[in-house]
Structure 1
């Protein structure tokens, strides 16, 4: 459609030109001294002037092209060198990703030599175009090349070359006067932190992380590095705070974050060397964290080992026991059995409230072996021998997957048999306890 419109426009212009030129009878007279005169039509004069203008324009364009030809050739050579530079850099990245670290360093060296040659050619004073306008990202490119070579050196366990290229990469990134230069420098520093973690130098990693700007230090990648360094250093407090921050930022799945934080809390509780420190650690925990089974168990066991009372240990286990008594399906049988085993040592001085809790849980789940075991041990501590034997006998049939509790149940039955002077039953019970694996 557009071509048809242009064709119509050309026909209209040709028609108008034919009408104007065909009816134009004007004559142009040129007087030539002294007595000569030249008569030409006005149309011819216009055509001659137009032809002279086009000829002059063509001559000027030709001269300009001849003058510009050396500069164009120079620009072409610069373009070819720039393409070669990019090719070497891409080769270095490809070799690094493929695990060919020696070849990656060689390609990086070629890229650096090409960049130096390119900058030397751009510095020619005969060139009117400033070098900064031709390759404005030269410093950033040099920083990335040194970074790839440093990464390759790290993979080859060449610490000297790695540190050298790392320093040159930082210097090149600092020379880049743009926002992307700042990002490049911070990214290189973060990668250097990972190198320190890989080399089992957590103190160096934390020092480099502390040197980062505040905003960069709060990034998920920086927090992950801080967590790894803190765990390598054995700084459980720092690792726990960092893990909580990562969990809030949703750096892990909810379950993975809970497991990680739970393990760190358990490590922190186990590191308490006295009762006061253990209680301070416990009070700093959230209510939700105290209700986690592994945390409550670790805290109660550490409390007893540090001289705490069984009543206080039961208080720490109460939130988890309520979940056990409610039959919460998120708790595994191993966790329920561990809670029962943790409550067993203090059954001799258990108060009425706890006894009611145990009886209520048994009445709600009378067929559960762990409840039968706990009721049996409670009755045994209160010298209710008949009920204890009944509950423990029932429990031995259901504790097939819990060897520790099953072994303890047979031992308790053996002691009960000895208490009533039944040597045959006691011997049989001791034999069953010894056979539990």
Structure 2
């Protein structure tokens, strides 16, 4: 179709030229004393067009000839730039493939080409990336001295403080990650503090902050960071729940007295205080620190819904409840009886309720509940042995030495 259009255009031009120039009798006379030249108008027009074309070609040729050195310079610059870019890509590929020595050499080659090219020295990000690739390779090679030197050069190129560019942000994050690998949490926090506020809230920055906090044994800071990560969907839901639970328990374990434990408990997020396992750990610590009243108060909301808890959560609550039994008030008894009535054959529940009844010196009720726990073959061995031992102590309290001896023998011979 394109050729057809060109043929039509040529035909139109030919027709116009024939109709215009075919019957043109005009004459152009050129006087140059003492000569005179007469030319037909058609020939003069053609000669004028040919002269213009010749002048255009001549001027273009002269311009290209004069600009040849500049074009050669640009060509050499383009070759060097391509070589530098190729070396940088090669270094990145070798780093990903685990060829760290070769990756470092390729990055150094890119830097050497940049140093020899004046135009490339103005490209700050190129140089910074090359230094970061070299530093990453040296980090893998455990050469910390030269790694820090390359990192310092990269940050120096980016400015002090570093310019808010992706390369500068990446350099700070890499420096933080390397500090964590070196088990230097102080340096990691120092690098994180130099990040802009928006970058510090990104998932990768929060992950690094979490690792630094755990490395420096700051469980409360780690817990806050992990909660932010969970909010940003940095963990799978199940993993987030487990991490937050373990960190909350670590925070509680830092308490050294009852007052400190109470302060830590209030500092926890409401979601952590609603976790039965976390609450159970807090209650057990309260018992160790002579704050059983606080521990029972923290456990009571979970006791009211004991049958709705999962197996692990219920076991943790029951164990913690046994720890906070000393001084159990009477208002707990209806709650215990309702729980046992709902599941009379639940051995751990029967054991905990039996221990509570024994604490209140209700020997008959305690004996019946502990017998349920001791005779349940599906219960844990340790729980059945404890149940028999407490039955022996109850028999001692009642003065039945024969029954007490039988209970102690069953505790010793339980399998």
TM-score normalised by structure 1 residue count: 0.86
Q: 2:400 aligns with which of 421, 425, 430?
A: 421
CA, structure 1 residues 219+167, in 2 after alignment: closer, same or farther (shift >3 Å)? same
Matched position secondary structure for 2:30: strand
CA, structure 1 residues 118+431, in 2 after alignment: closer, same or farther (shift >3 Å)? farther
The farther-off stretch of 401-410 and 44-53 is 401-410
Question: How many angstroms does 1:32 deviate by?
Answer: 4.8
Matched, 1:185 2:168: yes
Structure-1 separation of matches of 2:239 and 2:290: 33
Q: How does 1:7-406 map to 2 (within 5 A)?
A: 7-34=7-34, 36-119=35-118, 131=119, 135=120, 138-174=123-159, 182-309=165-292, 311-325=293-307, 327-328=308-309, 331-332=310-311, 334-347=312-325, 349-398=327-376, 400=378, 402-406=380-384
Question: How many angstroms does 1:89 deviate by?
Answer: 0.9
Question: How many angstroms does 1:191 deviate by?
Answer: 1.0
Structure-2 separation of matches of 1:31 and 1:212: 83
The CA RMSD over aligned residues, in Å, is 2.7
Question: How many angstroms does 1:197 deviate by?
Answer: 0.9
Question: How many angstroms does 1:13 deviate by?
Answer: 2.2
The farther-off stretch of 63-72 and 48-57 is 63-72
CA, structure 1 residues 242+346, in 2 after alignment: closer, same or farther (shift >3 Å)? closer
Structure-1 separation of matches of 2:224 and 2:266: 15
Give the ranges of 4+ consecutive aligned residues of structure 1 lying more than 6 Å apart after TM superposition. none
Structure-2 separation of matches of 1:216 and 1:402: 51
Question: How many angstroms does 1:175 deviate by?
Answer: 8.9
Question: How many angstroms does 1:294 deviate by?
Answer: 1.9
Structure-2 separation of matches of 1:102 and 1:401: 60
Question: How many angstroms does 1:292 deviate by?
Answer: 0.6
Q: 1:140·1:176 contact (CA, 8 Å) conserved in 2?
A: no
Matched position secondary structure for 2:304: helix
Question: How many angstroms does 1:396 deviate by?
Answer: 3.3
In the TM superposition, what whole-angstrom CA distance separates every residue of 1:191-246 from its partner, at most 9, and x where no partner exists?
11111111111112112222333333333322222221121111223222322332
The farther-off stretch of 255-264 and 272-281 is 255-264
Structure-2 separation of matches of 1:398 and 1:292: 29
CA, structure 1 residues 357+27, in 2 after alignment: closer, same or farther (shift >3 Å)? same
How many residues align structurally?
414
Structure-2 separation of matches of 1:136 and 1:248: 43
Question: How many angstroms does 1:307 deviate by?
Answer: 1.4
Structure-2 separation of matches of 1:368 and 1:435: 22
Matched position secondary structure for 1:38: strand
Matched, 1:407 2:385: yes
CA, structure 1 residues 432+294, in 2 after alignment: closer, same or farther (shift >3 Å)? same
Structure-2 separation of matches of 1:391 and 1:301: 23
Q: 1:389·1:413 contact (CA, 8 Å) conserved in 2?
A: yes
Structure-1 separation of matches of 2:300 and 2:87: 66
Unaligned runs of 5+ in 2: none
